[in-house]
Amino acid sequence: MPHRRGVLLATALILVLGGCSGESGPVSPSPSVDDTIAIPPPGSSPSETPGPGVTTPGIRMTAVPRSDGSFDMVEDVILPEAADSLQVQVPTSGELLPGLMTKTAPRASDLQLLADDSVVPLDTSTVDTTRDLTLPTPATKLRLTYRLTGTTVRRTPQRPQRAAAALRPLLAPDEDTLPTSVSVSSGLLNAVCPLLTETRCAVGDPPNLTIRPDIPASQALVVIQLDLP
């Protein structure tokens, strides 16, 4: 099964990068650690829109792309039952991306966690693998904010702004079917969900392209093509 998922993801990334063929090889972004994270405060758009992750159980993830290929990420989560521990994970490993001729090294940094609107102290604010987080008291409402780097591949010099990236929620809930929605704030050109039976999950056309909502959490891996700002 892991091998099949790897093949599917490689194929998906080749598809979304099809418009970049003929250019020089992909390069990894070089994010600046001094930049501040452009993350909306709790209660601001899009979180105020009712739906899974905001008013009902589910996950709502918003990705704000940056010119260096990194993303400012917000995950609003409502769990079906209160939990006192969470598992977090980065989008995917480089071994699943052979079609891009380079390995990615996903990393979430500057992680902040709110549980039932209270700040949760963390031993470390960086996630580059799978790890567990312990909450002081059981909670159902969560908000995770962080900077995602190392998951984007782009080609230069003809189209330096054209890129592909793999996105998935940092939170790995116990409930595999928890409805998950992923949105990209700007520049989205295509989206493929390699773990779904119908892999193309883009809805509409640019510049109003969106990603299919309510994907089961265990399958909420989205490979996007976008123009970086």
Q: What pLDDT, on the 0 to 100 scale, is given for residue 35?
A: 55
Q: Which of 172, 154, 146, 167 lies closest to 211, judged by CA?
A: 167
**Number of separate domains in the chain:** 1
Which range of residues forms the domain containing residue 147?
2-227
Enumerate the β-bridge partners of residue 58.
78
Q: What pLDDT, on the 0 to 100 scale, is given for residue 154?
A: 79
Q: 179 and 211 in contact (C-beta within 8 Å)?
A: no
Q: What pLDDT, on the 0 to 100 scale, is given for residue 29?
A: 39
Q: What pLDDT, on the 0 to 100 scale, is given for residue 22?
A: 38
Between CA 108 and CA 84 the distance in angstroms is 21
Q: What pLDDT, on the 0 to 100 scale, is given for residue 83?
A: 96
CA distances for 14 relative to 17, 25, 98, 190, 192, angstroms: 5, 13, 9, 12, 10
The size of the chain, in residues, is: 229
Q: Which residues of the chain have pLDDT under 50?
A: 1-8, 10-11, 13-15, 17-34, 39-47, 95-101
Q: β-strand 58-65 against 179-184: which pairing, if any?
A: parallel
Q: 158 and 142 in contact (C-beta within 8 Å)?
A: no
